[in-house]
Structure 1
Amino acid sequence: MPHDDHDHPHALLPPDPALRVKALETILTRKGLIDPAALDEIIDTYQNKIGPQNGARVVAKAWVDPEFKAELLKDATSVVADLGFYGRQGEHMVVVENTPEQHNMVVCTLCSCYPWPLLGIPPGWYKSDAYRARAVREPRKVLAEFGVTLPTTSSVRVWDSTAEVRYLVLPMRPLGTDGLSEDELVGLVTRDSMIGTGLPEEPS
């Protein structure tokens, strides 16, 4: 479910929603209602400047700074805003911490609410009907499809994002990273680990 088959002959064609979006963009451009260059700039900003690297910076800082982590878990909205990570789709943030006893996973069952200032543009699978429906019903099976197998002693809690609240998962710090700097730790934090459908990278 989570991964597209890029080798399929039809994989080069945009999906039906993408065709509709392109058609709407063409019509709005011809009517002079949108500027394609401005639209491209907005997309580039969220993909390359406002993206998972922001969330990774927050996670790495929480791993090395216990005081920061405590404040983050208490009032994430203010803490991430102080770091400059705020704006549309990130007005009210809640950070949930993974522990050996509990693994957290985020979904938006109604649409695709997502913390854009911290994670950038949501991946296609996050918006899919399959993920939105199954993440709540059978989270362990969905996690297994992402390559995440949890011990039976660990429970799974699914958090449902809404228009009012966005969630960010604080993954557990990988073993063997005690000597790494904050900057080095940033490189281990994956987007999926902050949604809960993945784990951080192991140190090389």
Structure 2
Amino acid sequence: MTRDHRHGPDDELALRAAALEAVLVEKGLLSTDQIDAIVERYERDLGPQNGARVVARAWVDPAYRDRLRADATAAIGELGFGGFEGATMVALENTPDVHNVVVCTLCSCYPWPVLGLPPTWYKSPAYRARVVAEPRSVLREFGIELPAEARIRVWDSTSEVRYLVVPQRPAGTEGMGEEALAGLVTRDSMIGTGLARSPGA
């Protein structure tokens, strides 16, 4: 039985993917086990947990944070993450004064080695157009209410340069270790459409 990857009955992209999967299996080009193995690899080995480890290391290790700022590709590579979709990475730090958010206006360029599979909304024309034109409104829809004085910077990812947002470290995490901190980092916070979770949330 094939794995159901649909997020909802009206998700046209997921329906197309399911149809393509069925054809590949029917023609004997792929087995359902191979497809499940591919999906599991992206969920387990190429998921947002990798980016969360990068962020947590930057939160606890000032020297690593400096290396991440200077050469994100190399610093991310130190933790064993890299590859074609992460060949030229730039780290963007969120602060109380500046909030960074990432979009790919022309396609869906996305740093798979650190964030895994892109969410459906990231590839949608609505997000790609609106986050550039009205980022504050879009962020509000994601549940982020920024102070009026905070600046929002929208970064356009391309096939040449991909971005990783380093969210602000939540208050009350001073005594937490790196592994526990990584558990607070969400995929959306590394795109800039979310915040890191507070401890106990």
Which residue identity lines up with residue 163 of structure 2 in the other structure?
A: Y
- SS of the equivalent of 1:130 reads helix
Deviations 1:139-175 (A, max 9, x none): 0000000110111111000011111111000111111
* Residue of 25, 38, 44 corresponding to 1:42: 38
Rounded to whole Å, the distance in 2 between the matches of 1:27 and 1:96 is 41
Deviates more, 1:19-28 or 1:128-137: 19-28
Q: In the TM superposition, what is the alpha-carbon distance from 1:12 to its structure 2 partner? A: 4.9
Which residue identity lines up with residue 64 of structure 1 in the other structure?
A: V
Q: In the TM superposition, what is the alpha-carbon distance from 1:21 to its structure 2 partner? A: 2.1
Deviates more, 1:64-73 or 1:81-90: 81-90
* Residue of 125, 128, 134 corresponding to 1:132: 128
Q: In the TM superposition, what is the alpha-carbon distance from 1:90 to its structure 2 partner? A: 1.2
Rounded to whole Å, the distance in 1 between the matches of 2:8 and 2:131 is 28
Which residue identity lines up with residue 146 of structure 2 in the other structure?
A: L
Q: In the TM superposition, what is the alpha-carbon distance from 1:24 to its structure 2 partner? A: 2.1
Taking the TM superposition and a 5 Å limit, the aligned residue runs for 1:181-200 are 181-200=177-196
1:172 aligns with 2:168: yes
1:84 aligns with 2:80: yes
1:156 aligns with 2:136: no
Name the residue aligned to 1:118. Answer: 114
Q: Which runs of 4+ in 1 moved over 4 A?
A: none
Task: Give the RMSD, CA atoms, in angstroms.
Answer: 1.5
- SS of the equivalent of 1:96 reads strand
Rounded to whole Å, the distance in 2 between the matches of 1:77 and 1:69 is 12
Deviates more, 1:53-62 or 1:24-33: 24-33
26 and 93 in structure 1: CA distance in 2 versus 1, 3 angstrom threshold = same
Which residue identity lines up with residue 198 of structure 1 in the other structure?
A: G
Q: TM-score, normalised by structure 2?
A: 0.91
1:93 aligns with 2:89: yes
Rounded to whole Å, the distance in 2 between the matches of 1:123 and 1:57 is 20
- List gaps (5 residues or longer) in structure 1: 1-10
Identity among equivalent pairs (%)? 59
- SS of the equivalent of 1:89 reads helix
Rounded to whole Å, the distance in 2 between the matches of 1:24 and 1:203 is 41
- List gaps (5 residues or longer) in structure 2: 1-6
Q: TM-score, normalised by structure 1?
A: 0.90
Which residue identity lines up with residue 170 of structure 1 in the other structure?
A: V
Deviates more, 1:53-62 or 1:87-96: 87-96
1:56 aligns with 2:49: no
Taking the TM superposition and a 5 Å limit, the aligned residue runs for 1:10-49 are 12-13=8-9, 15-49=11-45
Deviations 1:46-84 (A, max 9, x none): 112321111111101101111100000110101111211
Name the residue aligned to 2:100. Answer: 104
Rounded to whole Å, the distance in 2 between the matches of 1:148 and 1:128 is 20
Rounded to whole Å, the distance in 1 between the matches of 2:181 and 2:9 is 37
Name the residue aligned to 2:3. Answer: none
